[in-house]
Structure 1
Amino acid sequence: IFQGEEMSISIRGFSIGYDFYAPIRSVCFHHYNRKNVPVFWENSNSFEQIAPNSMKRLLGIVRMNPEVDPSSWDHRDEDLYGLGGVRTPELFYETFGIDVVNKEVQGHLCRFVDSGTMHTDFTRYLRTDKMGIDYNQIKYKFVDPDPNNLEDDDVGDDDG
């Protein structure tokens, strides 16, 4: 899987209880334009046969394909690599404007995060032990504040 692993890791981490924060500036990145470095897509043809089933499994584990019969994908080792019991994926989707049934996301989510608005709005729900956000107290549901002003980078890609 090349497209989808970030969401899978994020949703599984959220379900285990991890909180994610957005620093003011990039602290970690990678370059795609390095020369003579092996990249995933060089061998992507080797995995054409298993890619659809892998994606079905990934989406099934994080409950992003509710229309798919769960018996149609491999559940092996799901107890090791699946969801945690602290929060549900549905809470993640509701909070951050992801509609898994209609396959739609709210635009401008990256602006909500990058601007510091999310940090300001969510830190008032810091747990009493100061060890993260108490999402049980958050009744927030992200809705695009400017749906009539979408650009290519505002929705549907990993950059916002």
Structure 2
Amino acid sequence: MSEDNSKSSEVDDEVRTLIKNRGIVKAKMTRMENWFKQDKPLDIVQCKLRLEQLMQIFKDYDNFHTELEVMDYESHHQDREIMEDKYFDLISFVTKIVNQSEDTQQSNSSTDNRSTISHSSIKLPEISRAISNTGQASSNYLLH
């Protein structure tokens, strides 16, 4: 019996540790969500860096949560649904922000390129008046 109690105690300790670690990761995701949804302009470079970090946070969550589900699926499967919904909503939100920024940058870049074309690179045809044998200018124009 003592051996059974010892194993049960070890499993309980492992479950508590996994729940604690999962809670830490969930708190990271909440902080990330709060940062992305703040009411001020977002720096696109930080968005990209945080998007990468968010993906790692979810991997960590998935690892801890999978171990919990293996031990007791019924007690933990609803938490996964909630976190997956939160994660994919946030990933979608951030991806749209990044894509809009990149589209805007590309649009601005192509507009800038068109407006900065050097006029010296455009070769216009030269026009001269034809001079008749009499030395008078005629109304015939020649393109060179």
**What range describes the TM-score normalised by the shorter chain of this pair?**
under 0.3
Q: Which of structures 1 and 2 has the larger relative contact order (alpha carbons within 8 angstroms, sep 6+)?
A: 1
Structure 2 length normalisation: TM-score?
0.20
Flag the structure with higher strand content: 2
Bigger Cα Rg: 2
TM (normalized to structure 1)?
A: 0.19
Higher helix share: 2
